[in-house]
Copies of this chain bind each other. A is one copy, B any other.
């Protein structure tokens, strides 16, 4: 922030906090948490409340056909917008901050600019992405994936929840609920994208920091591995004749971890889920099926390690047969260094202790990064706890996050992409 310029406006932390607590009433659980799953009646009620707040200060709402909600503050010129926000939907046993904090921080930015009569050089648009969580309709991040062209509308429309209700059906219901709100095609030019979010880990809290400028989201690959042996009687089958899937699993688990560790200290390799069949104490097990969770900030390392894991599994499994099925493949991304610097400058100017840090969890920002210079602003959450009714962020940290969003957003709106100000 150039302190020789007129000071940037201050957001209203108390107003933002009261809006957060107001939103937490929608889908409130008796345990203090929130159940506001994607495209549910509660999700629509949250959108209606947000649209109402926007209309009271003249912000124009719109939906795209993927169910993403936008509120636009017009700029001095038209053209590519600075998109800010996150998501309103929650996990079934969710908290009061995951997602909704980013949306309401964005709203606080728009309202502060509106109140001060500040017209930004280009439009600033709030977004509430459809179905980030994926708890009801899996997998999540549907809205941002359709917006970015990563998935097609017809693909997500066919996904159904546990009751058999499809996303397409719920998107029609959404359109019927807001007949007066314009519906546009997904995807429009972005000048930049900035998403505030609680950290969902305890790095900031442990270091007594308030602001995290996120360097990127680490890449993630998951695999399902099936080891097939031969069932036999534990009391009779000689050891040398056995094709024991649990013993093969033991060899494979160690060999895969050893292969993963070749990638250095940033690798994360986990076998978190294991299923043994038939899982009877006196039966030599026929089958072990397990999941691999592999993460690294660099895609080349992730790809190379994934191949090494597959080879290690096949080699160590013999005489069992190893089948390695790739599941999730979410590449790593790096957020705009210019925006990260802008976040750190804002935090420094506001006296907020800050750091750069990596996001271990995925966010909609992952899908905006290929479209425009993108960034994420993290604030601490208590004990790193998230996706839990006791999820909590301090009011001062919520306000700090919104303030840094405002500062960074105005910087982005003024900056020129072709001069590299944002890259």
Residues in chain A within 8 A of chain B (CB atoms): 201, 203, 218, 220, 222, 233-240, 244, 246-247, 249-251, 253-254, 257, 260-261, 265, 267-274, 276, 279-285, 291, 293, 295, 360-361, 384
A241 to chain B minimum Cβ distance, whole angstroms, is: 11
Instruction: Contact check, A239 vs B261: say whether CB atoms are below 8 A apart.
Output: yes
Closest to A291 in B: B281
> If the complex has contacts A236-B268, A237-B268, A360-B233, are A280 and B273 also in contact, measured as CB distance less than 8 A?
yes
Which residues from B are CB-within-8-Å of A251?
Answer: 250, 254
Instruction: Contact check, A265 vs B239: say whether CB atoms are below 8 A apart.
Output: yes
In the complex, what distance in Å separates the CA atom of A56 from the CA atom of B116? Answer: 109
Which residues from B are CB-within-8-Å of A260?
Answer: 239
> If the complex has contacts A239-B267, A250-B249, are A284 and B272 also in contact, measured as CB distance less than 8 A?
yes
A358 to chain B minimum Cβ distance, whole angstroms, is: 9
Instruction: Contact check, B247 vs A257: say whether CB atoms are below 8 A apart.
Output: yes
Which residues from B are CB-within-8-Å of A265?
Answer: 238-240
The answer, among B239, B249, B267, B295, for a CB contact under 8 Å with A268, is B239
Which residues from B are CB-within-8-Å of A268?
Answer: 234-239
Closest to A285 in B: B272
In the complex, what distance in Å separates the CA atom of A51 from the CA atom of B246? Answer: 49
Instruction: Contact check, B240 vs A250: say whether CB atoms are below 8 A apart.
Output: no
Closest to A261 in B: B239
**Residue with the greatest number of chain B CB neighbours at <10 A, chosen from A218, A239, A257, A260:** A239
In the complex, what distance in Å separates the CA atom of A293 from the CA atom of B201? Answer: 41
Which residues from B are CB-within-8-Å of A361?
Answer: 235
Could you give 7 example pairs across A and B, Cβ below 8 Å? A233-B360, A238-B268, A239-B265, A250-B250, A272-B279, A273-B281, A281-B293
Instruction: Contact check, B254 vs A250: say whether CB atoms are below 8 A apart.
Output: yes
Instruction: Contact check, B279 vs A273: say whether CB atoms are below 8 A apart.
Output: yes
Which residues from B are CB-within-8-Å of A384?
Answer: 233
Instruction: Contact check, B246 vs A271: say whether CB atoms are below 8 A apart.
Output: yes
Which residues from B are CB-within-8-Å of A261?
Answer: 239
A117 to chain B minimum Cβ distance, whole angstroms, is: 43
In the complex, what distance in Å separates the CA atom of A280 from the CA atom of B387? Answer: 14
A380 to chain B minimum Cβ distance, whole angstroms, is: 14
Which residues from B are CB-within-8-Å of A238?
Answer: 265, 268
Closest to A263 in B: B239
Closest to A270 in B: B234
Which residues from B are CB-within-8-Å of A239?
Answer: 260-261, 265, 267-269
Which residues from B are CB-within-8-Å of A274?
Answer: 246, 274, 276, 279, 285
